[in-house]
Amino acid sequence: MDPFNAIVIAVFLPFILAWTLPVLYSVFKQRIGWIAAGIAFTCFMLNVQVIPYAMAGTPVQGSWVWLPTAGLSFDIYGDGLAVLLALIVSGVGVIIMSYSNGYMSTKEDLPRYYQWLLLFMGAMLGIAYTDNTIQMFIFWELTSITSFMLIGYWRERPESVYGATKALLITAGGGLFMFLGFLMLRVVTGTYGISEVAHSQELLSILHGSEFYVAVLVLVFLGAASKSAQGPFYVWLPNAMEAPTPVSAFLHSATMVKAGVYLVARMHPILSGTPEWLILVSGTGMITMVMAGFMAFRQTDIKAILAYSTISQLAYLMTMYGYSTAEHPGLGFAAATFHLLNHSTFKATLFLVAGIVAHEATTRDIRKLGGLRKEMPKTFIVAVIAAASMAGVPPLNGFLSKEMFYETSLEIGHLVGGPWVYIFPVVAVAGGVFTLMYSIRLIDGIFLGERTHDPDVPHHVHEAPWVMLAPAVFLVGLIIFFGVYPKFPIETLIQPAYSGLVPHADHLHVKLWHGITTPLLMTIATFAIGIVLYKFYDTLAAMQNSFNAKLPWVSVNYWYDATVNNAKGICKKFANITQPGPLGGYIKIVQLFMIFLVVWPLYYLGVGAANILPEGMNFASQPYEIVLYALIIVSALGAAIIPRYLPAVLSLSAVGFLVSLLYMYLKAPDLAMTQVCVETLSTIIFILVIIKLPQKFKEPMPAGKVLVNLLISGTVAFSVFAIMVNAGVGILAPFESFSHYFMEYSLQLTGGLNVVNVIVVDFRGYDTIGEISVLSLAALGVYNLILSRSGSAAEEGEEE
Amino acid sequence: MTTIITKTIAKICLMVDMLYSLDLLLIGGNRPGGGFIGGVLCACGIALIYVAYGYEDVKKIWNPDWHSWFGYGLLFASITAISPLLAGHNYFRSAFELSPLIVGGFHLGELELVSSMFFDLGVYFVVIGGLLFIVTQVGTDKGKDPEGGK
């Protein structure tokens, strides 16, 4: 298959087929999980087609023009990095959707679940292959939205809603900053293309010389950091664990949170090579790595530990991508990309184990668990291998990439010089130590020790069913395989990704045994320190707890909650001021604004009161017209003065009908007809409403208020009059009328003789379609107003 | 209001009104009229029936969902606006054709086929549905009646 077509199909297939699931559900029932997994597998196989092209160093490129007026097209760029992410997304997708068949109860709303999973997968594949910043932004926000729907899958739980909202606010908000960065990038470089900028030395030097460079870097990094839960934005990820566990495994450890890291990797040829890059990306990464690893200690929920671990591991990746300096472009890139792959394997496995434990032991609280190794021996082995890989134990894949991390940390230290020779490696080891400690904790807390006899844990815990175990075993197979035979992933995936983005990339040699090197010594130091410090694990956790209890404002969550909760109060206050309720106020404001609109231009143009009436006005009228004017004035006065609603309304309608009569005299039959019909209907509706009110005005108005109202309405009347009499003549020279265009072309272009109608339905059809939409909305608005009032009548009564 | 005279007149009016409304809709292209005014007129006639006979009684015989009228009207108008795209023209492009009208061998004149007629038909339904939806909703609202209602 043509690789471009393969990519396009892989991206859009999930989007299209997701909508068929509700239909398929009526036939296949709970077995649609396997259909979803099949779709994911199809995407995986389509992605495999692209590997040879990536390995050969000829990225798959192509585009469809999509919005030519805005210079937008759907651009595909399938290089090594894109294929790697696409394979992780679709591969983990297959595993997760198969696993979900065992995890999700058949009573759940399964079509919705698999639908959003597939939509998410499509959006992620879109991110992987995109070569256009706008397209990147669209798919980016699509993943935020699908993640929102999946975190909030159990809608009735308040925690889910809280977690989903938090994730959406932070990731989608960060995406908007990223969008701003992309727009600036476009202003500087003149293109939305990503590879186009990356491959053009000229554009790169323009960008790096531009004053916008730092702004672009910071904004794009804000998007990446919020998505990958880096820096203060980490807060959304622990709360996102309210999602069903397969979702957490898929979105919040293996794929979606990798999007931020992927963005950094993808943009690194464009933005890296400056001190700002190193400080921002690596600095944020290093701080997050240590802090998140440390904060994992006080978590008691297995999934929360894994969440903090994910934040910390993503920070490894961020740090390594940040190492790319001008002296050594691409330093850390290969290590980071390899770790990205490895992290997906071991972290997804650990989440699957967490799901199994929660499913079988009915709790995820690590204090209540323990001693499960005898009852769940297979799960135990799987978990040990995955945790060992996370901790960097040889000969597993985590060990290899962690070695590479230590090695590049040493190199960057030497490049920067000064005290940084030590700081980079020490921080790296600190991250490794914390990782080791919580990895031990996970195994220790769940599987080792004695069974606690907590009432929440059943007496006999069963081994997991094969549906849930098999995907985890498969991933563990990959962990060992990648560890023992790293040549395979390095040559098929990592090397192409590395060479594709880093110019003059060297050939990677990854082996288990390098001899006794400094990184190996660092690994040994990590293990030694970690095992010693593990004795103080509980003490450290208790310290964190007491610290947090004393100083709650240190926590980012404290500020998030304060902001979001206060936002509701502030909005309510704001609404109380801007929407006070009584209609009189609104009308007055509209009228005052109208006066301003007329008076200000007059003042601005220096038009005196004497000039307002145009010269040569003809006030001569026929006797019947004078009668009509008199009647209009009388009924208008009646509408204002009569102290009862019904006669006042009828009097107002009389004005309308009389005006339509005036239209007849002035030879505008269609206007007259419209006016009569509209007046009839509005009178009917008005009466229907008014008939329910007490028929007398309740409060007599004080004289002062009457005077003010009179003044306002008098000025409005005069303003309207001034506009009307000047409309034809103009205080300014009138604009050239273009009605002759419609007159000339109406028959020729549309075959209609009635120019008014032709304008409405043809020349200005845009306006009309807008108007009928407004009419429909107004009808719905009326319906909602009535419905909400009768529905909440009791509530309102209480407030009053 | 619901005297026998009102009822009888309303009934007669409705027929004339409907015919006139359709006429206005159809001649809109060339003479005063069009979808909007035709729709308002039709809505007036039906509203008159509601007022004369009472909503509850009319409902027993004929109870259309006015909200679906304006929904479909909007859909219809949008489809008309979009359909030129399928033929490779611009959004909202209109077309017309004069074709001889022959009935039973007699040439009766020219029949003018205008594509914007369909758009006007959408407007017509939106106007009827929207206005009568408001009328019926406001008319049947029992929110603050002394009897309580629902």
pLDDT reported for residue A115: 93
On whether any CB of chain B is under 8 Å from the CB of A466, the answer is no
| Position A666 pLDDT exceeds 80 | yes
What are phi and psi for residue A69, nearest 5 degrees? -65, -30
Q: 3-state class of B19 per DSSP?
A: helix
Q: Do B116 and A674 touch (CB under 8 A)?
A: no
Which long-range CB contacts under 8 A does A199-206 form with residues at least 24 apart?
A: A204/A269, A204/A270
Mean pLDDT value across chain A: 87
The Cβ of residue A44 has, within 10 Å, a number of other Cβ atoms equal to: 19
Q: Do A752 and B30 touch (CB under 8 A)?
A: yes
On whether any CB of chain B is under 8 Å from the CB of A775, the answer is yes
More confident residue, A72 or A474: A474
CB A218 within 8 A of CB A279: no
pLDDT reported for residue A724: 78
Instruction: Tell me which residue of A267, A428, A425, A434 sits closest to A339, measured CA to CA.
Output: A428
Q: Is the ipTM of this complex over 0.90?
A: no
On whether any CB of chain B is under 8 Å from the CB of A172, the answer is no
Q: Do A752 and B114 touch (CB under 8 A)?
A: yes
Instruction: Tell me which residue of A168, A163, A284 sits closest to A221, measured CA to CA.
Output: A284
What number is the average pLDDT over the span A716-730?
77
Q: What distance in Å separates residue A461's CA from the closest CA in chain B?
A: 53
Omega before residue A486 within 30° of 0, cis: no
- On chain A, the residues whose CB falls within 8 A of the CB of B116 are 750, 752, 758, 761-762, 765
Using a pLDDT cut of 90, give the percent of chain A over it. Answer: 45
One DSSP character per residue, A497-563 reads HHHHHSTTPPPP---S---S-HHHHHHHHHHHHHHHHHTTHHHHHHHHHHHHHH-GGGSHHHHHHHH
Which stretch of DSSP H or E encloses residue B112? Answer: strand B106-114
Which residue in chain B has the smallest CA separation from A670? Answer: B32
- On chain B, the residues whose CB falls within 8 A of the CB of A783 are 67, 133, 137
**Taking the CA of residue B60 as centre, how many other CA atoms within 13 Å lie in the half-sphere pointing to its CB?**
4
Find the range with the poorest average confidence among A257-271, A318-332, B82-96: B82-96
What number is the average pLDDT over the span A767-791?
84
pLDDT < 70 regions, chain B:
1, 108, 142-150
On whether any CB of chain B is under 8 Å from the CB of A793, the answer is yes
Phi-psi domain of B112 (left: phi exceeds 0; alpha: psi -120 through 50; beta: other): beta
Q: Do B28 and A793 touch (CB under 8 A)?
A: no
Domain limits of chain A?
Answer: 272-535, 738-800
Q: Which member of B32, B94, B123 has the closest CB to residue A669?
A: B32
What number is the average pLDDT over the span A704-713?
88
Which residue in chain A has the smallest CA separation from B148? Answer: A790
pLDDT band of A798, cuts 50, 70, 90: very low
Mutate to test the interface with A, among B6, B21, B25, B30 (most CBs of A within 10 A): B30
On whether any CB of chain B is under 8 Å from the CB of A688, the answer is yes
Count how many pairs of residues, chain A against chain B, have C-beta atoms within 8 Å: 152
Q: Which member of A669, A757, A768 has the closest CB to residue B28?
A: A757
pLDDT reported for residue B142: 67
Q: 3-state class of A586 per DSSP?
A: helix
**Four-point Cα dihedral A560, A561, A564, A568, nearest 10:** -160
Which residue in chain A has the smallest CA separation from B112? Answer: A751
Instruction: Tell me which residue of A392, A254, A258 sits closest to A315, measured CA to CA.
Output: A258
Residues in chain A: 800
Q: 3-state class of B62 per DSSP?
A: coil
CB B110 within 8 A of CB A657: no
Which residue in chain B has the smallest CA separation from A754? Answer: B30
**Taking the CA of residue A287 as centre, how many other CA atoms within 13 Å lie in the half-sphere pointing to its CB?**
12
Structure tokens at B93: 């492009």
Contacts for A537 with CB less than 8 Å, ≥ 6 apart: A297, A437, A441
What number is the average pLDDT over the span A134-154?
94
pLDDT reported for residue A565: 81
Mutate to test the interface with A, among B36, B120, B124 (most CBs of A within 10 A): B36
More confident residue, A287 or A325: A287
What number is the average pLDDT over the span A551-567?
85
CB contacts under 8 A, A 732-751 vs B, are 749-751
What number is the average pLDDT over the span A153-180?
93
Q: Which member of A669, A684, A780 has the closest CB to residue B51?
A: A684
| Position A799 pLDDT exceeds 60 | no
Cα distance between residue B148 and residue B150, in whole Å: 6
| Per-residue pLDDT reduced to its tens digit, A328-353 | 888 889 999 999 999 999 999 999 99
Which residue in chain B has the smallest CA separation from A748? Answer: B96
Q: Which of A20-29, A70-79, A180-189, A575-584 has the highest mean pLDDT?
A: A180-189
Structure tokens at A347: 């972290």
Which long-range CB contacts under 8 A does B9-13 form with residues at least 24 apart?
A: B10/B48, B10/B49, B10/B51, B10/B52, B10/B53, B11/B49, B11/B52, B13/B45, B13/B48
pLDDT reported for residue B118: 84
Using a pLDDT cut of 70, give the percent of chain A over it. Answer: 95
On whether any CB of chain B is under 8 Å from the CB of A770, the answer is no
Q: Identity (one letter) of the amino acid at A387? A: A
Q: Identity (one letter) of the amino acid at B19? A: L
Q: Do A751 and B114 touch (CB under 8 A)?
A: yes
Q: Do B143 and A670 touch (CB under 8 A)?
A: no
Find the range with the poorest average confidence among A233-247, A703-717, A737-751: A737-751
pLDDT band of A318, cuts 50, 70, 90: very high
Instruction: Tell me which residue of A113, A112, A136 sits closest to A123, measured CA to CA.
Output: A136
| Position A621 pLDDT exceeds 60 | yes
pLDDT reported for residue B148: 40
Q: Which member of B31, B81, B142 has the closest CB to residue A754?
A: B31
| Position A794 pLDDT exceeds 60 | no
Instruction: Tell me which residue of A61, A43, A55, A119 sits closest to A81, measured CA to CA.
Output: A55
Which residue in chain B has the smallest CA separation from A673? Answer: B37
Q: Where are the alpha helices (DSSP H) in A298-417?
A: 302-322, 333-361, 377-391, 397-416
- On chain B, the residues whose CB falls within 8 A of the CB of A753 are 29-31
Instruction: Tell me which residue of B12, B28, B49 sits closest to B124, measured CA to CA.
Output: B28
| Position A800 pLDDT exceeds 60 | no
Cα distance between residue B36 and residue B21, in whole Å: 10
| Per-residue pLDDT reduced to its tens digit, A417-465 | 888 899 999 999 999 999 999 999 999 988 888 887 777 788 888 888 8
- On chain B, the residues whose CB falls within 8 A of the CB of A768 are 77, 119, 123
**Four-point Cα dihedral A370, A291, A303, A332, nearest 10:** -110
Structure tokens at A612: 């307002």
One DSSP character per residue, B68-79 reads HHHHHHHHHHHH
Cα distance between residue A63 and residue A782, in whole Å: 47
pLDDT reported for residue A106: 84
- On chain A, the residues whose CB falls within 8 A of the CB of B112 are 751
More confident residue, A450 or A398: A398
The distance from CA A474 to its chain's CA centroid, rounded to whole angstroms, is 32
CB A483 within 8 A of CB A399: yes
pLDDT band of A610, cuts 50, 70, 90: low
| Position A757 pLDDT exceeds 90 | no
Cα distance between residue A504 and residue A794, in whole Å: 74
Cα distance between residue A287 and residue B135, in whole Å: 64
Instruction: Tell me which residue of B138, B121, B1 sits closest to B70, measured CA to CA.
Output: B121
Q: Do B116 and A790 touch (CB under 8 A)?
A: no
Burial class (CB in 10 A: 0-12, 13-18, 19+), A540: middle
Q: Which member of A751, A786, A793 has the closest CB to residue B29?
A: A751
Q: Which member of B112, B134, B145 has the closest CB to residue A685?
A: B134
Q: Which of A55-64, A283-292, A540-549 has the highest mean pLDDT?
A: A283-292
What number is the average pLDDT over the span A156-160?
91
Q: Do A754 and B130 touch (CB under 8 A)?
A: no
Q: Do B41 and A673 touch (CB under 8 A)?
A: yes
Mutate to test the interface with B, among A67, A773, A775, A792 (most CBs of B within 10 A): A775
Instruction: Tell me which residue of A31, A25, A11 sits closest to A120, measured CA to CA.
Output: A11
CB B70 within 8 A of CB B62: no
Q: What distance in Å separates residue B105's CA from the closest CA in chain A?
A: 26
pLDDT reported for residue A734: 57
Q: Do A754 and B51 touch (CB under 8 A)?
A: no
pLDDT reported for residue A733: 59
What number is the average pLDDT over the span A600-628?
76
Q: Do A754 and B29 touch (CB under 8 A)?
A: yes
Cα distance between residue A748 and residue A238, in whole Å: 67
Mutate to test the interface with A, among B94, B125, B127 (most CBs of A within 10 A): B94
